Amino acid sequence: MSNVAFVLGNGESRKGIRIADLKQHGTVFACNAVYRTEEPNYLVAVDPKMILEIAETEYPKTHEVWSNYNHQYEKNENAKNYIKWFSPSLGWSSGPTALKLAADKKFKTIYILGFDYQGHSRGDKHKNFAYNNVFKDTRNYKKGNEEATYYGNWMNQTKRVVNDYKDIQFFRVVPKNAFKPHDLEFNENFKHLDIDEFVRIHNIQIQS
């Protein structure tokens, strides 16, 4: 098995990178509505609304789906019988939870994509940011013109994984001028990697 994993959040910086291409180079962990169009090795969703959406389909019967147990899932046969439960529940967001799952499996190198943290700048003096998600304006997601959720908890959860797994090298893949939280760069096992360099290393194409 490859010692490389790819963990995908749904920030728009990862647009055009296909999971099928990444699977040629390692194991893919992805989140939430990714299941609608692609098939990662592991799908993580912690929002009950998203789990119930996924469980409306046959996806959990044929793919590995992970979530936190919730008593309301007892009423849904696909959720109850096929989804795997974290024990204990971290109480984290889906992206960092997927990152922790990958780290627990002892991959030596983990590439993080679509962890954008910050929304799209509206260019106003109040520094408001618009919602940044590849699935915006679809079921169970905010509208694209709504305000982005503050990223502090998500970033701190990422930092916790990086700190706890010092034997793993983490690369956050982002465009050249992307937002780069300084809090993450204090770790020797964490680096930012330009997305152009990432696709060159893995010889993959960004799809339009």
Orientation of helix 152-164 relative to helix 94-104, angle to 10°? 10
Q: What is the pLDDT of residue 127?
A: 72
Q: Residue 166 pLDDT more than 70?
A: yes
State residue 145 phi and psi, 5-degree precision.
-95, 0
- CA 194 from chain centre, in angstroms, equals 18
Q: What is the pLDDT of residue 85?
A: 97
**Average pLDDT rounded to a whole number, residues 153-177:** 96
Q: Residue 126 pLDDT more than 70?
A: no
Identify the band that residue 125 occupies on the pLDDT scale cut at 50, 70 and 90: low
**Average pLDDT rounded to a whole number, residues 34-54:** 97
- Domain coordinates of the chain in residue numbers? 4-202
**Average pLDDT rounded to a whole number, residues 8-14:** 97
Q: Residue 123 pLDDT more than 80?
A: no
d(CA 158, CA 183): 10
d(CA 123, CA 183): 24
Q: Residue 80 pLDDT more than 70?
A: yes
Q: What is the pLDDT of residue 182?
A: 86
Instruction: Provide the strand spans (E) within the chain.
Output: 4-8, 27-31, 42-44, 64-67, 84-85, 109-113, 120-121, 129-130, 169-174, 190-194
How many CB atoms are closer than 10 A to CB 81? 11
Identify the band that residue 145 occupies on the pLDDT scale cut at 50, 70 and 90: very high
Contact 110, 171 (CB under 8 A): yes
d(CA 103, CA 135): 26
Which runs of consecutive H residues, i.e. helices, occur in 27-172? 48-54, 59-62, 77-82, 94-104, 152-164
Work out the mean pLDDT of the chain and round it to a whole number.
95
**Average pLDDT rounded to a whole number, residues 162-172:** 97
pTM for the full predicted model: 0.96
**Average pLDDT rounded to a whole number, residues 59-64:** 98
**Average pLDDT rounded to a whole number, residues 38-64:** 97
